[in-house]
Structure 1
């Protein structure tokens, strides 16, 4: 959702222009998360300066910097430019120490506008400035209290209560303690004590020049560290660290809600955990642990000691956040799927020989397989695309494990407070590992004693840290909002999970080995499916002016119909609906006529003859049919030649959803481009939905 970014240089001289460009570039790396306005705060010669921009709007006249947006046909991309003639700031001024914060906003409270953009301020003088990702659920109560204490509010955001609360805390502490100075981290901890909801926050204040304080609960936040040391041969050089330091060495420090904005600067990061407060001051990095329950009952400003945690390495490369030769990230990621699948399976498939059967090794699950096999049921929990991936894998898992498998949308499970038992295995699927409803469902399942398994693409994410065990997808960085390669990798991981769980059953050995053979060859089959790119572009040209599109699937490919329709809906902004073909007669058939385009997925599996019947019934009602079938089966699904046929490679039935979704991803991509929309930043959508 919102993107937050901050930069602090300590004893590393940087010009103001460099600092601004670095902050702007950080925001560019975060815009894919969803963005409708943006803002930054840096120091002028007299103190902090705020500047904001809204898509389609210019900043207020008082802003010392001017942003200009690069216009697209329907959406805009973040492309600010610094104009020296529009500001009285000296862009060549050099700072050996400077702290700046930046933000891209995905509106939740208040329309996109300069006054609602972040950073949000405590008021005149910008005594406290805050950037925020998340939602403060008790902001109305806090706002009423602060108004009674004389504060005036200028925005419609929930965030504005945070800097004003910080000023209230600071003024009160200063009045009570006199000359004794309250620390910046103490102010922030006192603010946290009053906040409810999910948030990641970065604070800046002229009362604490060249300091930054960050904290989080429920929203992702990383600290990047780049430290300089003296080298007798080369003068000064950056080096890797094992721990955040308090040694005052020259360094550059970065906060970001996403690793994409850090990787070009440093790979040494600290994944900040919930209720941690990170204070950057005088080149030192202090980490404080905030005990929420204890602090709620504490009358005084808490004084906490520092804790130490190790830095970790980002498992991504700069090239992954660049488009390369592709026009859009979504296009790039669709075409990266053969390699992402290969990476997902690397080291996990055991070839076997004459004395040993083929098998699967999932290190993150091996110590828990016996418990999973003895579960009363396996519950898959996710949202959106991740839910669809689990739905695609469910039949195979049921087949091999013999354990009942149920599906839950995370938000619905929470709304119902559905039963979760200690005899259950709950599997949480999320590309980002930070999806709010899925995290809340994880907390709910943990409280009910279930074994919790995580399947995520993000090492160090909240789901990866909070589950008992799990599997990392290894699909690589995914920038486009519409998930593509993570979806297919999720299906493959869950197929491997089914193979590992069913590994103790002799009767299914031949079936398991057939699927393992299919997994080995799957990247080649996906590469073959990608050759349909031009064909899907031609189909998109025929459909680009349509208002609606239906997709029918059943068995393994019901999930394909749902996911294909979701992709068209997400990025092409066309009404599309995935329908279980077995339910066709129970309502959907009334929509069929010669104008409405309908895609029927009818590749060879146990439901093939039933799909043939569906095609016949739709054809009898003059349906405008597009049929996806296995290579060589065109005459079987459309003997009269009246249908448009898309032929795809045939693989093992449980892996067919990986193949079948590829043409639909390509169709969604080309529809979006032809309709003039922004593929990588769909309207009203965000990459990682980290709030409710």
Structure 2
């Protein structure tokens, strides 16, 4: 199995919170925990514990998204001050748990108390690991440059994509790649340091592609970093990608532009077709081996295109011999459809409809880096469109989206739009509009045979997991995490259910 991640963001619609506002909310949560312990014995039916959880959830919301990141970056002391306040939380929670275990109560009251504790732990984890650690991750990506506020927001998407790849690696990790596309970047298309990186036909790590966006040649730049290794540990790939991005002076120059924007498309791979190599790592692009010019398309893919060898021949797709992954046919065929005169969404629909096999695909065309194309067909694959604050986050598993949002639209690759014509109408195609990122209005959905499938509130589901449930944390492997945390889980499950002699 493989993993797909993509993040498409628009400028923030919320103002940056002040440090005092954030600190006050965090401190209120700690005060409520002290209030819980002020009752002797602890009153199980009291709502104070829920109030504490709600305060930390409010802090998480304040620190989320672009406004939260900028609050943390503009005040270098804010993260440390938050951590100092949160230092009291763990011992307070331990005292509350001990107090709960020492008293009698109804099963219903105990369940409510346990649920409140879970909410509390989830919220505190989110503040510390999803917000403060994200700030540190963004800072580590910009050590050799000075990004503008807008550039920091692009790096926020990069950091969150790397974090998602870390979680998705449980599905496959022999290679990984990330494409960072930026526009309003201020880099001249004749810049020597840019031109030196434009012509790698194998699209290896460090390659840059020039996009004709907004009517301007070079109006957008697509930077790609990749890592491929047969042997390694979880986290090695993202560490390599992070290092390559942090050392990319050209990218950091682009991110210093005051109005720069960007999107991210990434993948973690478990090779089933093709060697483990940088040319085979996704994203792959549409550049032809014979040098003929065609529109630029880049793509990532989960699953196998069973008829890819036939398509290379019948569609005259010129593929370099070093590229042996079946995923190459996705951007190559889509580029051919664009060159034939089809508009973007129709070209993509014709492309994915030609494939045999169970597939999940994400793609970006060079003329519209502020849009994302998705396709899902068959069983065994998944794509989830997360509705975050001013952002879409797309992942092949729900745990790829939950750092940004609990709300998502699940694509359906199996139910036919027309039961009388299941072969042609099975599968869904989605186009995401970055100008409306994070909203249902920004999602355009249709079936594989081109029927419109409107998206509404009924399509929105809510994740029942949080990053605390699925994050590997400081453990080397997920199994070690499960083993280490199991005693506490059993204890929490049995709390209030055992009666002494």
Asked if 1:111 is matched to 2:111, the reply is no
* In structure 1, distance between residues paired with 2:493 and 2:353: 42
Q: Residue 478 of structure 2: which of 310, 320, 329 is its match?
A: 329
Please say if residues 41 and 100 of structure 1, whose CA atoms lie closer than 8 Å, have aligned partners that are also in contact. Answer: yes
Which runs of 5 or more structure 1 residues have no equivalent in the other structure?
52-57, 175-181, 228-250, 296-301, 347-519, 522-692
Change (3 A) 1:113 1:252: same
Asked if 1:280 is matched to 2:432, the reply is yes
Please say if residues 180 and 263 of structure 2, whose CA atoms lie closer than 8 Å, have aligned partners that are also in contact. Answer: yes
* In structure 1, distance between residues paired with 2:494 and 2:257: 51
Which secondary structure does the structure 2 equivalent of 1:115 belong to? coil
Map of 1:99 onto structure 2: 263
Bigger Rg over Cα: 1
Residues 372-421 of structure 1 deviation map (CA, whole Å, 9 limit, x = unaligned): xxxxxxxxxxxxxxxxxxxxxxxxxxxxxxxxxxxxxxxxxxxxxxxxxx
Which secondary structure does the structure 2 equivalent of 1:320 belong to? helix
TM-score (normalizing by structure 1): 0.39
TM-score (normalizing by structure 2): 0.52
Please say if residues 179 and 225 of structure 2, whose CA atoms lie closer than 8 Å, have aligned partners that are also in contact. Answer: no
Map of 2:461 onto structure 1: 312
Asked if 1:6 is matched to 2:174, the reply is no
Deviation of 1:118 (Å): 0.5
Asked if 1:223 is matched to 2:385, the reply is yes
Change (3 A) 1:107 1:95: farther
Asked if 1:168 is matched to 2:330, the reply is no
Deviation of 1:317 (Å): 1.9
Change (3 A) 1:94 1:213: farther
Q: How does 1:477-492 map to 2 (within 5 A)?
A: none
Change (3 A) 1:312 1:144: same
Change (3 A) 1:341 1:277: farther
Asked if 1:196 is matched to 2:348, the reply is no
Map of 2:407 onto structure 1: 268
Change (3 A) 1:170 1:141: same
* In structure 1, distance between residues paired with 2:446 and 2:313: 29
Task: Return 337-346 or 83-92, whichever deviates more.
Answer: 337-346
Map of 1:502 onto structure 2: none
Higher normalized strand content (fraction of residues): 1
Please say if residues 11 and 96 of structure 1, whose CA atoms lie closer than 8 Å, have aligned partners that are also in contact. Answer: no
Residues 205-259 of structure 1 deviation map (CA, whole Å, 9 limit, x = unaligned): 12223000111113111111013xxxxxxxxxxxxxxxxxxxxxxx111000122
Deviation of 1:307 (Å): 4.2
Q: Residue 77 of structure 1: which of 236, 241, 246 is its match?
A: 236
Residues 457-497 of structure 1 deviation map (CA, whole Å, 9 limit, x = unaligned): xxxxxxxxxxxxxxxxxxxxxxxxxxxxxxxxxxxxxxxxx
* In structure 2, distance between residues paired with 1:114 and 1:82: 14
Map of 1:255 onto structure 2: 394
Deviation of 1:318 (Å): 2.1
* In structure 2, distance between residues paired with 1:154 and 1:123: 13
Deviation of 1:61 (Å): 5.8
Change (3 A) 1:62 1:314: closer
Please say if residues 8 and 97 of structure 1, whose CA atoms lie closer than 8 Å, have aligned partners that are also in contact. Answer: no
* In structure 1, distance between residues paired with 2:165 and 2:233: 20
Q: How does 1:403-418 map to 2 (within 5 A)?
A: none
Deviation of 1:32 (Å): 1.8
Change (3 A) 1:31 1:167: same
Change (3 A) 1:317 1:109: same
Map of 1:374 onto structure 2: none
Provide the aligned length of Structure 1 versus Structure 2: 301
Please say if residues 221 and 272 of structure 1, whose CA atoms lie closer than 8 Å, have aligned partners that are also in contact. Answer: yes
Q: How does 1:263-662 map to 2 (within 5 A)?
A: 263-274=402-413, 275-281=427-433, 282-283=435-436, 284-291=441-448, 295=449, 302=450, 304=452, 306-308=454-456, 309-323=458-472, 328-337=477-486
Which runs of 5 or more structure 2 residues have no equivalent in the other structure?
13-149, 198-202, 209-222, 289-293, 414-426
Asked if 1:21 is matched to 2:185, the reply is no
* In structure 1, distance between residues paired with 2:460 and 2:272: 33
* In structure 2, distance between residues paired with 1:72 and 1:136: 26
Change (3 A) 1:139 1:97: same
Larger RCO, structures 1/2 (Cα 8 Å, 6+ apart):
2
Change (3 A) 1:10 1:142: same
Change (3 A) 1:119 1:61: closer
Map of 1:122 onto structure 2: 286
Deviation of 1:204 (Å): 0.5
Please say if residues 385 and 392 of structure 2, whose CA atoms lie closer than 8 Å, have aligned partners that are also in contact. Answer: yes
Which secondary structure does the structure 1 equivalent of 2:327 belong to? coil
Map of 2:302 onto structure 1: 133
